[in-house]
Chain A
């Protein structure tokens, strides 16, 4: 039985109440959903919340899963749309306690910096966070999850042409951001040496 057929069988069993079957799918794909959410939101705690919520939504809407699709693609669809919602709500939170009580802000590195020990990978993550949400979404799904243009279009509710256009533009933006990161790191290194 190939993997897609196996997952369809697991989804059917989960739909009739077999949580063990759904547990297999959670074990298999919670990492992928976590990565997608982390790349989109830039925060490990938020990414963990997203995994919880996405798996809960998937469990409740198992009857809407199309067995002709890959299960991970369906999960990433739910996750991508949920992350976009969270990013929109984040834009509304324009004032936080840190802004008000700025003198209390800690100088310690956050958990994201600690999780990504490799500074070069951290630079990619920072560059990704500076991309517009619409470009970040297609970039993450294409390069980190190898979804096809059609799968990305279905996941994000776009046309294939729009996905291709955004990927094409995202290339230039990402390279610009990474170039800016390299220049900043160079300046930081020179400042430390002087």
Chain B
């Protein structure tokens, strides 16, 4: 079975001409095709919106765009590394992050140890609640997303004033 628009199903020129003639006769019965007048002032509004647009030749140089993209990737990589670092401490070895930062006795190492130990009970609580907690979180997030989709795609219609 071929694709729906496979070449062997292409109509001949005569068949297509006959089909087009048929459509044009049908449309003519309905006074079509006929242009629908655009809203008054449409072109003026479009041009007004273009006033704020920089000239076509003055887009940001490609190098600046590449720099922006590199910054985004670097930020994403940093977040991933931080999460991996934290997971290593919470799930594998509590002292590991502190030892990397010069030991748990003082300074950054001590701070990292405190953060790791503070995160452990929270992670254990979430893990012990298990599937139920995950379901509640997913349901709440899904409901919030759904509500946001409904509200954000509904156009605002100002209330109509009824003349007295």
Instruction: Give min CB distance, B35 to chain A, whole Å.
Output: 5
A interface residues, Cβ below 8 angstroms from B: 14-17, 19, 22-23, 26-27, 30-32, 34-35, 38, 44-45, 47-48, 51-52, 55-56, 59-63, 93, 95-97, 100, 115-116, 118, 120-121, 123-124, 139, 142-144, 161-162, 164-168, 170-171, 174-175, 178
Number of A-B contacts (CB under 8 A): 130
Q: Which 9 A-B residue pairings sit nearest by Cβ, starting from the closest?
A: A17-B55, A34-B38, A171-B19, A97-B154, A168-B11, A162-B5, A161-B10, A144-B33, A120-B30
Q: A120-B31, A143-B27 are in contact. Are A59 and B38 (CB under 8 A)?
A: no
Q: Which of B8-63 contact A (CB under 8 A)?
A: 9-11, 15-16, 19-20, 22-24, 26-27, 29-39, 42-43, 45-47, 49-51, 53, 55-57, 59
Q: Are A93 and B149 in contact (CB under 8 A)?
A: yes
Q: Are B30 and A52 in contact (CB under 8 A)?
A: no
Cα of A113 to Cα of B33 in the assembled complex, Å: 17
Instruction: Give min CB distance, A89 to chain B, whole Å.
Output: 9
Cα of A47 to Cα of B35 in the assembled complex, Å: 13
Q: Are B36 and A38 in contact (CB under 8 A)?
A: yes
Partner of B36, one of A15, A93, A115, A170: A115
Instruction: Give min CB distance, B77 to chain A, whole Å.
Output: 31
Partner of A165, one of B9, B22, B37, B39: B9
Q: A52-B45, A97-B151, A168-B19 are in contact. Are A15 and B35 (CB under 8 A)?
A: no
- What residues of A have a CB within 8 angstroms of the CB of B55 in the complex? 16-17
A178, closest chain B residue (CB):
B26
Instruction: Give min CB distance, A145 to chain B, whole Å.
Output: 9
Instruction: Give min CB distance, A80 to chain B, whole Å.
Output: 16
Instruction: Give min CB distance, A143 to chain B, whole Å.
Output: 5
Total B residues in contact with A, Cβ cutoff 8 Å: 45
Instruction: Give min CB distance, A126 to chain B, whole Å.
Output: 11
Q: A52-B46, A121-B32, A164-B16 are in contact. Are A171 and B22 (CB under 8 A)?
A: yes
Instruction: Give min CB distance, B130 to chain A, whole Å.
Output: 30
B interface residues, Cβ below 8 angstroms from A: 5, 7, 9-11, 15-16, 19-20, 22-24, 26-27, 29-39, 42-43, 45-47, 49-51, 53, 55-57, 59, 146, 149-151, 153-155
Q: Are B11 and A165 in contact (CB under 8 A)?
A: yes
Cα of A161 to Cα of B3 in the assembled complex, Å: 13
Instruction: Give min CB distance, A26 to chain B, whole Å.
Output: 5
Instruction: Give min CB distance, B38 to chain A, whole Å.
Output: 4
- What residues of B have a CB within 8 angstroms of the CB of A23 in the complex? 43, 47
Offer 29 A-B interface pairs, CB within 8 angstroms, sorted by A: A15-B57, A16-B55, A16-B57, A22-B50, A26-B50, A30-B42, A31-B42, A32-B35, A34-B36, A38-B36, A44-B39, A51-B42, A51-B46, A52-B45, A60-B56, A60-B59, A93-B153, A95-B146, A96-B150, A115-B36, A118-B31, A121-B32, A123-B30, A124-B27, A124-B32, A143-B33, A165-B5, A174-B23, A175-B23
- What residues of A have a CB within 8 angstroms of the CB of B150 in the complex? 95-97, 100
